[in-house]
Chains A and B, each alone.
Chain A
Amino acid sequence: MATLVSHPDEVKVVTSRFGKGAANIDRYLELDGYKAVRKALELGADGIINEMKASNLRGRGGAGFPTGMKWSFVPKVSSKPKYVLCNGDESEPGTCKDRLIFEHDPHAVIEGAMIAAIATGAHAAYIYIRGEYRYLLEIMQKAIADAYARGFAGKNIFGSGYDLEVYWHGGAGAYEVGEESALMESLEGKRGVPRIRPPFPAVVGLWGGPTVINNAETLASVPHILLMGGTQYAEIGVERNGGTRLFSLSGHVVRPGVYELPLGYSLRKAIYEVGGGIADGRTLKAVVPGGSSVPCLKPDEIDVALDFDSMMKVGTMLGSGGIVVLNDQTCIVKFALRTIQFYRHESCGWCIPCREGTDWLSKSLKRFHAGGGVARDIDNLRYLAENMLGRTFCPLGDAAAMPIIGFVKKFREEFEAHLDGRPCPYEKHGAPNALPVLSR
């Protein structure tokens, strides 16, 4: 379906089986498939977690929490069953990487989930895939059935005496469900309203049992880590940021696509070399470097390494690895408006700062972009957004507020250009939706 791209700077670990027909279990086995899980059974829980800690793998969903540490939080003894839950609800605008993993290497996700289960003593793993990805759910259903048919899942896997069930689960359209506690609610057949924490899922999760929740890319990295060894995986990346990451390049670049780059790779090079620079001879205005939820960077801020810590230092986040590139013809006010409209649509309404905040921001920006703004609105936007930060039940409120604060702070002049009833400087008269269609 989605086209694969390639660049010489890529380091192919998670993508190493892409385009090789690895959705077929025989092909997957030829390509070292299900070797890592056998190794995991030999290593045992502590051995696996040590490798994971050595690998410096950090959660690929967006928060960047060290995976080995997350697994070690699961209590060894539990009166309730333990679970592994794969988060394949990829919905962060700008992110389209898990889609390729499910399409090209579904067994790697299964194998990663199995290893996570062995490491934490769980006997059931769920792979949750968003509703829009129906074709991928079907690929996953087949992959799971094939794994059962070979005796890789179910009772006594690989003759080890370890029982491990693997199940698929589908969503039905909701961004917020990508948040781990909302994901569990959704899997339990409820509205995806987040849960209060603590207790954290590692202690009280699915149906009250300890639960490890990892992003699909995180789990797909796990078998590779066990096969090559945690230390070697860590060496691909930089300090405290092990390995590679799938970056979804989108927007006004010459070669958009999903590229696997080592952590610590330069953002500038990702845009100008891997992505081929700005399309149609335009120049760069801004980049949203980690999915729609993170503050943007200006052209003079892109000499930064793509790893969790470096991005944090420049006031943004590595997030989901979705790099959205905006050229000089883009109206920041319009872009901010579309961003907040998304969060307004996706807010579950459970807590007031998020429900009311996204609505107010959306209304203000809409009026502002239409030329009905007053100078005071600019500071009000920022004030509103800053008061949402840290005051919402789940990170959706922060995710909505952070980009808006960034846009107002860094592109105040664009907001000012819309004042006094002036039409949007980037839209041609009579064409209200005129962001240019790019040539291909």
Chain B
Amino acid sequence: MGGATGFERQMKFSEQLEARYADMITHYPAKRSLLVPFLLYSQDEYGYVTNDVIAELSRRLEITELDIRNVISYYSMLRTKPAGRYNVQVCTNICCLLRGGEQMLERARQRTGVAVNKGISVDGVFSVEEVECIGACSWAPAMQVNYEFHENLTPEKIDQILDDYRQKAERQ
């Protein structure tokens, strides 16, 4: 797939992602420096870090695909498989734990029908993930749905929030 085979695949980034690349590449004296934030932006665009993105970045940044995959595996937000349209990330770290974080995770799992960690609901609307501290300690328990923060949660609030996202998904 990569440079080693001699059959380099070239993908075309979306216009938005290409603009992002063009901007970010000017920020640094060494071009691979854009890797981490750019991978996350590509994930936002395609749902996960795709093989094509990895191959294309390997070509542009002149580093191996293996090197890029090593980087991806280090960062907990980067994934190489799809998640649900709404990725529900419930914090159970100490401050959330003290205020019921584990019950919130359980409730989110029940409401979405996603039983396993990082699993996806049958309809593809939700995935649920138990995450480490998201920086909402004073407003615990908390979760993030994609990038949106939801704080001072109660089981009832979780139901309401998730139902709203489900409706939003159905409307689209």
Identify the closest chain B residue to A83 (Cβ): B29
Tally chain A residues at the interface, Cβ within 8 Å.
64
Select A324's contact among B33, B95, B139, B148, beta carbons within 8 Å. B95
A256 touches B139 (CB 8 A): yes
**B71 interface residue per 8 A CB criterion:** yes
- State in angstroms the CA–CA spacing of A192 and B71 once bound together: 8
Which residues does chain A contribute within 8 Å of B144, judged by CB atoms? 132
Q: A2-B138, A96-B135, A131-B77 are in contact. Are A187 and B33 (CB under 8 A)?
A: yes
**A373 interface residue per 8 A CB criterion:** no
**A437 interface residue per 8 A CB criterion:** yes
- State in angstroms the CA–CA spacing of A55 and B150 once bound together: 38
**A330 interface residue per 8 A CB criterion:** yes
| A113 to B: closest C-beta gap in Å | 14
A172 touches B103 (CB 8 A): no
A189 touches B97 (CB 8 A): no
**A173 interface residue per 8 A CB criterion:** yes
**A50 interface residue per 8 A CB criterion:** no
A171 touches B30 (CB 8 A): no
A250 touches B137 (CB 8 A): yes
**B169 interface residue per 8 A CB criterion:** no
Contact with A along B56-96 (1 / 0, CB 8 A): 00000100000000110011111000000000000011110
Which residues does chain A contribute within 8 Å of B118, judged by CB atoms? none
Contact with A along B115-155 (1 / 0, CB 8 A): 00000000000000000111111111000100111011011
Select A172's contact among B77, B102, B136, beta carbons within 8 Å. B77
**A251 interface residue per 8 A CB criterion:** yes
A130 touches B95 (CB 8 A): no
Which residues does chain B contribute within 8 Å of A338, judged by CB atoms? 92-94, 97
B1-9, B34-42, B159-167: which lies at the A interface? B34-42
Q: A131-B75, A173-B77 are in contact. Are A250 and B138 (CB under 8 A)?
A: yes
B30 touches A188 (CB 8 A): yes
Contact with B along A221-259 (1 / 0, CB 8 A): 000000000000000000000000000111110001110
B94 touches A339 (CB 8 A): yes
A92 touches B133 (CB 8 A): yes
**B45 interface residue per 8 A CB criterion:** no
Select B140's contact among A3, A175, A256, A345, beta carbons within 8 Å. A256
Which residues does chain B contribute within 8 Å of A174, judged by CB atoms? 74-76
| A130 to B: closest C-beta gap in Å | 7
Q: Which residues of chain A (335-394) have a CB below 8 Å from chain B?
A: 335, 338-339, 342, 345-346, 348
| A250 to B: closest C-beta gap in Å | 4
Select A189's contact among B36, B77, B98, beta carbons within 8 Å. B36
Q: A96-B137, A172-B37 are in contact. Are A2 and B102 (CB under 8 A)?
A: no
Which residues does chain B contribute within 8 Å of A160, judged by CB atoms? none
Which residues does chain B contribute within 8 Å of A316, judged by CB atoms? none
Q: A172-B40, A335-B94, A440-B152 are in contact. Are A99 and B135 (CB under 8 A)?
A: yes
Select B95's contact among A135, A173, A251, beta carbons within 8 Å. A251
B76 touches A173 (CB 8 A): yes
Select B74's contact among A192, A330, A437, beta carbons within 8 Å. A192
**A412 interface residue per 8 A CB criterion:** no
Chain A interfacial positions (CB closer than 8 Å to B): 1-3, 81, 90-96, 98-99, 126, 130-135, 167, 169-175, 186-192, 207, 248-252, 256-258, 288, 292, 322, 324, 326, 330, 334-335, 338-339, 342, 345-346, 348, 433, 435-438, 440
15 contacts between A and B (CB under 8 A): A81-B29, A94-B94, A94-B133, A96-B138, A132-B144, A167-B28, A169-B27, A170-B37, A171-B36, A172-B40, A189-B34, A207-B30, A252-B98, A338-B93, A433-B106
Chain B interfacial positions (CB closer than 8 Å to A): 27-30, 32-37, 39-40, 61, 70-71, 74-78, 92-95, 97-100, 102-103, 106, 132-140, 144, 147-149, 151-152, 154-155
What would 17 more interface pairs be, CB under 8 Å, given A94-B137, A433-B106? A94-B133, A95-B135, A96-B135, A172-B40, A190-B32, A190-B35, A250-B140, A256-B139, A257-B138, A288-B94, A324-B137, A335-B94, A338-B92, A342-B93, A345-B76, A435-B102, A436-B100
